[in-house]
Amino acid sequence: MTIDGRTEIYGIIGRPVAHSLSPAMHNAAFAALGLNKAYLPFEVEDVAGALTGLRALGIRGASVTIPHKQTVLPYLDEIDPVAAKIRAVNTLVVSGGKLRGLNTDWLGANRALAEKLRLGGSRVLLLGAGGSARAIGFGLLEAGAEIVIASRTPEKGQALARALGCPWLPLAEAGDHRADALVNATSVGMDPLAETMPVRKEALARFGVVMDIVYAPLATKLLQEAAAAGCQTIDGLSMLLYQGAAQFELWTGQTAPLAVMREALLAGLPQ
């Protein structure tokens, strides 16, 4: 990649960001299409100052990650309607000195699930009540799916269920439920607790499709057991890939090179 006076700069703001796979994914995509663009990680504590800097420096767009997906909201000039429902953004588009906030997490989840499942009219059991679950839940509603939330914390789970207009279950009862798809939007199964699962393996045959947003490890215990139970499985890299592809297309107006982006993500995973 050659950096010159015409290079357009994009990046990711968060804390921490050193571990992020997004720079490798987006820079590989820019290079594949011969675009004079570069994507950099920005460790940010001062959100207001960082967004002023984006405008002042002519940075064209940015990803937003933990812990800033909500803290950026007061500083934006425009918020996409779905992102406003989710109350979080993970994507910024900078144009004419104005900041527009969007959320592509839900697009990533929907596109990953749509490879295995017709979302409209489907019934999905969604595990978790954090930011990822919220984005995925609103995205599924946009697609016409029916949702049931299951979480360990009643207060958070019930609050999300009210926001989505759907039922809530204690996580301990999730295995008694039956649905077209199960989506794990919790951190259960992530390294270093890779041998843990959010539901018991005997329950997995109740679901046609099982998706896990955890991607380290890529083949989580949940996905291994789901495959053994005859389920179709979707790994966490798929949501990461598709949300990044949606960002790329917002920033460039070009079709994202998915194969190149997935290869870059796989190369960046811990060995």
Give the residue numbers annotated as catalytic, written as ranges. 69
Burial class of residue 218, CB neighbours in 10 A (0-12, 13-18, 19+):
middle
The candidate with the shortest Cα–Cα distance to 265, out of 247, 244, 246, 251, is: 244
Handedness of CA 46, 214, 196, 217 (dihedral sign): negative
Q: For residue 81, report the phi and psi dihedrals to the nearest 5 degrees.
A: -55, -40
C-alpha span between 179 and 182 (Å, rounded): 7
Tokens at residue 245, please?
């592809």
- Asked if the bond preceding 257 is cis, omega within 30° of 0, the reply is no
Beta bridge partners of 125: 148, 182
Phi, psi of 232 (to 5 degrees): -75, 140
C-alpha R_g of the chain? 19
